[in-house]
Amino acid sequence: MKRKTLARILMVLAGVFVTLATLLTSIDAAAFDKRFYRYQYQKLGTAQRIGISEEDLMRATDVLLDYCAGKRDDLSLVVERDGVRMQMFTDETEVAHMVDVQALFLLMISVRNGLAIASMLCLVAAFALRLPLADAMKKLMWGLGIGLLIPILCGVLAVVDFNWFWTQFHHVFFTNDLWLLNPATSVLIQMVPEAFFSAIVTKILIWFAVVMIIWFALAGLGLSVAKRRARRKEQTDAAIVGH
């Protein structure tokens, strides 16, 4: 394989990896944005519906997020619900489901970090192979575009029928039916019903779109700089020949 061809492939791969890493980072950022949780809880009347204080609801959120991040080993939390002090999470199914959720989150972070490292290695290798800047930026944008196919498909499916999309998501990423929680007994599903997940998916897609616009803008800027340098070089060479 020719050196330039290999370098171009590496730049396309870098673009794909950057896009997917950006998507996973957007999921990570939205999932751990406690201000978003507080806003959605107030909007949906979550504390009143469950029968606990807003303070206890946010404490429960802290427990869930810390558990997902691998910062704690259990979901133990005593709250006052309808005037009675009790454990917040007592449904065995929801507790078992959160084990799967934690594993998925930790895997996602590992994959995101791996993609970020792989993208940097591809970039370094491509430039080490002396791929011209203009060519590199074009191929990077190609990769960014290819990487967008999966997020765009997911976004379209979520907009068309969120319930179907969310169900298929669980079928793909979970190997059991523990995610089929009973709203009458599961505090977890009472905290984060479908309306909450619809809102957070929208937030993820918006953040992702904003960052992707920035990536394309930076690649476009690099391409513009490369073209200006090429024009100046042509003008300089022409002036030298003219003399």
Contact 11, 136 (CB under 8 A): yes
So what's the pLDDT on residue 195?
Answer: 94
So what's the pLDDT on residue 48?
Answer: 95
So what's the pLDDT on residue 152?
Answer: 94
Residues 6+ positions from 22 with CB-CB distance below 8 Å: 208, 211, 212, 215
So what's the pLDDT on residue 235?
Answer: 65
So what's the pLDDT on residue 41?
Answer: 97
Can you tell me the distance from the alpha carbon of 196 to that of 199, in angstroms, rounded to the nearest whole number? Answer: 5
Report which residue type is found at 94: E
Q: Is 129 helix (H, G, I), strand (E, B) or coil?
A: coil
Q: How many CB atoms lie within 10 A of CB 122?
A: 23
So what's the pLDDT on residue 2?
Answer: 86
Residues 6+ positions from 176 with CB-CB distance below 8 Å: 100
So what's the pLDDT on residue 93?
Answer: 94
- What stretches in the chain show pLDDT beneath 70? 1, 233-243
What is the reported pTM? 0.91
Dihedral-angle region of residue 19 (phi above 0 means left; psi in -120 to 50 means alpha; beta otherwise): alpha
Helix (H) or strand (E) holding 174: none
Give the chain's domain count. 1
So what's the pLDDT on residue 234?
Answer: 64
Dihedral-angle region of residue 81 (phi above 0 means left; psi in -120 to 50 means alpha; beta otherwise): beta
| Partner residues linked to 86 by β-bridges | 79
Domain residues for the domain of 142 are 3-242
So what's the pLDDT on residue 237?
Answer: 60
